[in-house]
Structure formats: structure tokens, C-alpha cells
Amino acid sequence: MRLSLNNMRSRAKDLEELIRIKKRSIINAPEGHVRISKVGSGTQIYFLGEGTDYKRKYLCANDRDIAIQLAQKEYDMKVLKLAESELRTLNILIHKYENGICDDVYSRINESRRKFVKPIVLPDDEFVEEWLGEPYEGLGFDEDTPEHYSARGLRVRSKNEAMADDKFCEFGVPSKFECPLHLKHYGTVYPDFTLLNVRTRSVKYLEILGMMDDSVYAEKYIGKIRAYQRNGHILGRDLLILFDTPRYPLNPGDIELLIKNFLL
């Protein structure tokens, strides 16, 4: 999987904040060190001074607070050292990514030359175009099926599906409506939406479940979800579910949360 420049920048920002916090914690911590060892069923704690003031002193139960502060300081020092090392490495990677990596070579040559080259990685736009261009035959609609359309003119089966499709378009999430998927020992299913996370280039299947207060409907979909999982499409990773009931109707915020957590 290709590394994400945005992820690296986010991690670098988190590390910078962690380093700032740990430096402050270390400065405010008491001087000296603590040695903690297990003796029998108990624990012995000794205070050790700094440098030439190296003194060993047994800490009793009343000195627990100083022992905690010194143990935390030594932990923070180790965290700080590794965080600074990781940040240096990340900054080098970020700089290299900003100046281009081998994956980007294909996108930097002219279109005429691309026709003669097989890239190691397709640019995102071409990958999405190729994914969306894969032919498939959906379920279709009976003559008496109510007509619902999303803003882009896609015919769907419900207002919830139209709302979901509008949100996918808003966030630039490539999607296919009722694209068939074969599940071994179950048969062919037609997920409400098959979705592509462009950053990770992973496919997700979305089912929008209403009528969950209907026991027959609920039991049917529990079996279907089990079939997804037994075919390797794990709930919360590859299989995504949105619920809609009279008491808890699906709303745009639910869809946005799903998009931000799994599809960007």
C-alpha cells in the first residue's frame, strides 16, 4: 500500500506535540532516578541521585509519589528520544515525497508516451476511471418500482440511497450502485453501494438496513451479513452498514461519519 503524504504530515504534527509535552514534563520532574525491583512477593524502590551526587536511598510507602514522578520521567525520556528519532525520519520522507517518488514517474510523462508504458502504479484518476469503467449488470427495476433519483441522476430504490449517493459525490467517493458480488455458499448479492477508498485503493460494501424492527427482515439480513463475513468481507472493515428505523432515521451526518472514517 502506498504511503500517504497527508498521513505522514499528520503523524509528524502529532509527534511535534508529543515532543513538546514530554520536554515540559521532564523539565518539571524532580532530579534523580528511581530503581524498582521485585523482591519475593514485594517491590523494592530506591532513589538514585544525579552525577557526583549519586546516592542510593530506600523509598518507603510514604515516598510513593516521588517514585511515580521519577518512573514517569524515565519513561518520558525514552519516549522523547524515540519520538525525536521518528520525527527526523518522517521529515526526510516527507521531503522526498514532496519532491516526487517512483510511483509518480508515470504521471509526469506526456500522454503520448504513456500509451507505450506499463506503470508500476496508475495515477489515482486513471485508477478510478478504470475501476468505474468495469462493466456490470445490476438488479434493474420493475415497472411498478417507485422512482427515486440522486442529484446526479442515478436511479436508486429509496430516499436514503439517494441521500447516500449525494454524499458520496460531495466527498468524491467513487461508487457503484447494486454491483453484483458472489458469496460462496450463499449466492450473488447486490450491495446497495460498492465503494472505493482511493487513498488505500480498497473496496468497501455498504448495506443500508431499514425495517430492522421487522423480525423476518432482520433475520434475513443477519444471515446475509454472516455470509459476507464468511467470504472474508469483515464487518467494520470491508462491510459497512447504515441503519434506518422510524425511531432512528438515517441522516446526512451518519453518512458523513462513515465516509470520513472509512472512505477518505
What residue segments make up the domains of the chain, in order of their start?
5-99, 107-135, 147-262
Q: How far apart are CA 254 and CA 252, in angstroms?
A: 5
Name the amino acid, one letter, at 52. Answer: T
Q: Are 100 and 108 in contact, with CB atoms under 8 Å apart?
A: yes
Question: Which CATH number among 3.30.70, 1.10.150, 3.40.1350, 3.30.310 corresponds to the domain 147-262?
Answer: 3.40.1350
Q: Which residue has the cell 541521585?
A: 49
pTM for the whole structure: 0.70
pLDDT in tens, 56-113: 666 665 667 777 788 899 899 999 999 999 999 999 999 988 887 777 788 888 888 9
Is 152 exposed, middle or buried (CB count within 10 Å of its CB: 0-12, 13-18, 19+)?
Answer: exposed
Rounded to the nearest 10°, the torsion over CA 98, 100, 106, 107 is: 30
Query: Residue 239: pLDDT above 80?
Result: yes
Beta bridge partners of 48: 33, 56
Long-range contacts of 21-25, Cβ-Cβ distance < 8 Å, separation of 24 or more: 22/76, 22/77, 22/79, 22/80, 22/83, 23/80, 25/72, 25/73, 25/76
**Which pLDDT does position 2 carry in this prediction?**
58
Name the amino acid, one letter, at 194. Answer: T
Residue 182, CA distances (Å) to 131, 186, 197, 225 in order: 18, 8, 21, 13
pLDDT in tens, 141-170: 999 999 999 999 999 999 999 999 999 999
